[in-house]
Every structure is written in C-alpha cells, then in structure tokens.
Structure 1
C-alpha cells in the first residue's frame, strides 16, 4: 500500500468574525514545518490563493486549532523545501496545489447596505476550503468523510 500523508485543517478562531481556515500538510522530513494552502483577503476586496512553504506554525505567533481532515496517498503531495526558509507563492507542484488553484478564490461579496438590492451570499476562506475538499473528493484524492469533518469545523 502506498505511503500516506496527513492533511489537516488549521482554524484560527475569532470571536468577532469568521474563523480563518487553511489546509496544513506537514513536511515528510520535519512534521513541525510544512505547507499551508489557503486563500487570503477579505469579503470586501476578495481573496487570493497562497501557498506558504516551510511554514512553522509555532513560530508564527498565531495558535490555530488543528483537525485531521484526511489521509491521502503520498503521490498527491510534494514537499518543496527550497533553502529551508519560509516562502509564499502560487506555483503548483502537486495534485492538491493544482486542485486548490482550480477552485476560484472568492471575489468581493460584501457590499455597503446602500448597494445591496438582494441578499448576497458571503464567500470567504471557509467556503473556498469546502469547495476545495469537494474537488479533492471528486478527484479521488480524499475520502468523502473529509466533507463531514469540514462541516464540523468551528466557523468562529
């Protein structure tokens, strides 16, 4: 059986706004560092894709809640160590990163009350991550149970 890699959800709780969600994949060489796959931005300006490589969550100063999302075959994950320093980019190196870029980052979805004629669904990093997991399930990279885990992840 192929070697498995663990994929987690980082959830950064926030009592006022929606929690920030991102995928976390620890490095196969050093599980204290790894890569974060996420969209960053806000509901007013919109979001952009981002891959943080050689990310050390403990050194960031932000403490996320960490939830195991799924185990995937190692062939779907490529570690890009570079020189060992943290980098940020949007160049895909594996199937999960390609899938992440295939799911559009949410555009602006929050408008001034005077500009809203009808109720607009708010799209953010949480809606994007859920769509990414749906894509990874459709591509047979993750098991369907991963969607249940996403739906149970705290939203604040």
Structure 2
C-alpha cells in the first residue's frame, strides 16, 4: 500500500509562504502528520512534527499540492513519539539557522545575503526523500513550481 504526500503552502501576500509536508492519516483524511520547520530568518528554525494536525481546523489560507506516493511502512499514524522513517529523514536535514542580521547588529555584513527558510528546508527534505527512493523524482519539480508567496 502507499500513502499520498502533499505540500502545504500557507499563502501570504507580503512574506514568503510557509511550506510544510502533509501526510493524511489512513483513517481520517483531515487529520495527519505535518512535518515542517518553524522559526524566522532572524532567529533560525527548528524541526516541528505534529502527528495529529487537523487541517480542517486551520484558519490560515493554504493550498494543498500533491507531491507523490510513499510506502505505507514509512509513516506511523500515532500520537506516541515513535520516530518513523519519514521523520528520521526530516530530522537528518538540518533546520536553517539565522541568516539575517538584525539592523542594530554589530556583526560584519554578509555579502550577498542568502536567506534560508522553510521553503529551502522543504526543498532539501523532498530532495532527500527522492535520493532515498522514498518519493519519485517528479516531487522535486513539484516543489520547484510551488507558490512562493
């Protein structure tokens, strides 16, 4: 059996969209696992995994984009903190650190500034899933063409 994996794109007219990976549970297509990094370019990001995220209760504007299919044995539907294979891959991709100095910072200027955020991380995470043959290579193209705002 296989499970469908989606990219969640939380749209924003002013800032880069927030991206997360979404895997609906086998029992309820509104509830599932969200894998993402949370934070900011000022403070850096941290891995975040919510095994029981209820998509029907979110109030933010979002788009759901199919990335592909993964083997059912790579995902565990559980509130327990069993780290399943897809989470292991997510945790192996480092979350971005701070990439933007505050205005009042005494840090030397970086040239040029390369901002790294959740979109960069999802791109690397999906590429790693493809590299490990957990997702089809077409998922990389889907991510490249996803809405950025």
Q: The TM-score by the shorter chain falls in which range?
A: over 0.9
- Dislocated runs of 4+, deviation >2 Å: 112-115
SS in 2 for 1:58: helix
SS in 1 for 2:3: strand
Shift in alpha-carbon separation, 1:149–1:92, aligned structure 2, 3 A: farther
Name the counterpart of 1:106.
Answer: 96
SS in 1 for 2:67: strand
Shift in alpha-carbon separation, 1:117–1:41, aligned structure 2, 3 A: closer
Name the counterpart of 2:139.
Answer: 146
Name the counterpart of 1:121.
Answer: 114
Structure 1 distance, partners of 2:123, 2:96, is: 12
Give the TM-score normalised by structure 2. Answer: 0.92
Asked if structure 2 preserves the Cα contact closer than 8 Å seen for 1:7 and 1:72, the reply is yes
| Deviation sequence 1:91-120 (CA, Å, 0-9, x none) | 552111000000000000011467424112
Name the counterpart of 1:39.
Answer: 37
Unmatched 5+ residue regions in structure 2? none
Alignment of 1:1-156 (within 5 A): 3-81=1-79, 91=81, 93-112=83-102, 115-156=108-149
Structure 2 distance, partners of 1:117, 1:68, is: 37
Structure 1 distance, partners of 2:143, 2:110, is: 31
Aligned length in residues: 146
Unmatched 5+ residue regions in structure 1? 83-90
SS in 1 for 2:95: coil
Give the TM-score normalised by structure 1. Answer: 0.88
Structure 2 distance, partners of 1:102, 1:117, is: 27
